[in-house]
Structure 1
Amino acid sequence: MGISLKKARVIVRKTLQAGRDMDLKPLSVIVVDAGGHVQAFEREDGASPGRFQIAQGKAYAAVMLGIPSSSIGNMAIERPHFGASLNAAFDGKVIPVAGGVLIKDRKGEIVGAVGVTGDTSDNDAAAALAGVQEAGLEGVA
């Protein structure tokens, strides 16, 4: 079973709330299902319009490889040819930096990912984790 629209909306709302609680810059939050398809997205007032693509790229990277986007970023640093190959394989859709968090259900199955952008990548990931946890799911950053 994938992530429901209801759960996706909770993740978006709670991630944005976490960002406000942490006094972060305006965030953009996307939730994708296990196939990388957009389930929900919101961009806060003041966030630049290009943030959709960045948030999507972080979430897409995580769900397509089954690991957090921060891990993909580390792999790309260690092996630049790997990072370049990923973007070639996925038509440039991968953003390999922190902020793409896997979403797992109670059984430990990957049901999607959340991508957050707007502040530092580590803060983006922290807000994403808070949102996923508030939705009663497990986040892997």
Structure 2
Amino acid sequence: MTEITHQQAEIILRETLAKGREMGLKPLSVVVLDAGGHPKAFLREDGASPGRFEIARGKAYGAVMLGMGGRAQMARAEAQAYFMAAVNGAYGGKVIPVPGGLLVKDGDTVIGAVGVTGDTSDNDAEAGIAGIEAAGLTPEP
């Protein structure tokens, strides 16, 4: 079974933050989860608010548990609010269905998820996409 490695997680963290600096974003926080939704790695930049871990994890958790990136989750929440409310209840309120939650794939296999927070959700997603691609993996925003 393919899984996200510690080395890949480190690359994702480093390159996501580098992309955020290149874009001039506010301080970011980034979490990498394995395919079971468990944290593999996390970084919070200096100046990022302390609650950002839970937001980053919520974005990534929704992606890996639902098998869809944050953009698709947000569209689903807008179209089927009751469904997403029920899902969030089933997962103990841990799902944050907005951009910045990204599935991580190796080929067609989901091996984890990344959650990025700190700037606008779309900017968070853009930075995360760069990090995932730098690790040689495929993002699904």
TM-score by length of 1: 0.97
The aligned residue for residue 120 of structure 1 is 120
What residue in structure 2 maps to residue 111 of structure 1?
Answer: 111
Percent of paired sites with the same residue: 57
Q: In 1, Cα distance between the equivalents of 2:139 and 2:44?
A: 21
1:85 Cα deviation after fit: 0.4
Q: Distance in 2 between matches of 1:92 and 1:121?
A: 19
Residue in 2 aligned with 1:56?
A: 57
Shift of 1:83: 1.7
| CA-CA distance at 1:11 after TM superposition | 0.2
In the TM superposition, what is the alpha-carbon distance from 1:50 to its structure 2 partner?
0.5
In structure 2, C-alpha distance between the alignment counterparts of 1:69 and 1:86, rounded to whole Å? 14
Correspondence for 1:73? 74
Secondary structure (helix, strand or coil) at the match of 1:47 reads coil
How big is the shift at 1:118? Answer: 0.3
List 4+ stretches of structure 1 deviating above 3 A: none
Structure 1: 5+ residue stretches without partners:
none
The CA RMSD over aligned residues, in Å, is: 0.7
The offset of 1:100, in angstroms, is 0.4
The number of residue pairs the alignment matches comes to: 140
Give ranges in structure 2 of 5+ residues lacking alignment. none
Encode CA deviations 1:63-87: one digit per residue, 9 max, x unaligned: 0111101211111111111121011
Letter in 2 for 1:48: S
C-alpha offsets along residues 19-44 of structure 1, whole Å, 9 cap, x if unaligned? 00000000000000000000000000
Q: What are the equivalent positions in structure 2 for 1:67-106 lying under 5 Å apart?
A: 67-105=68-106
Name the TM-score, length of structure 2 as normaliser: 0.97
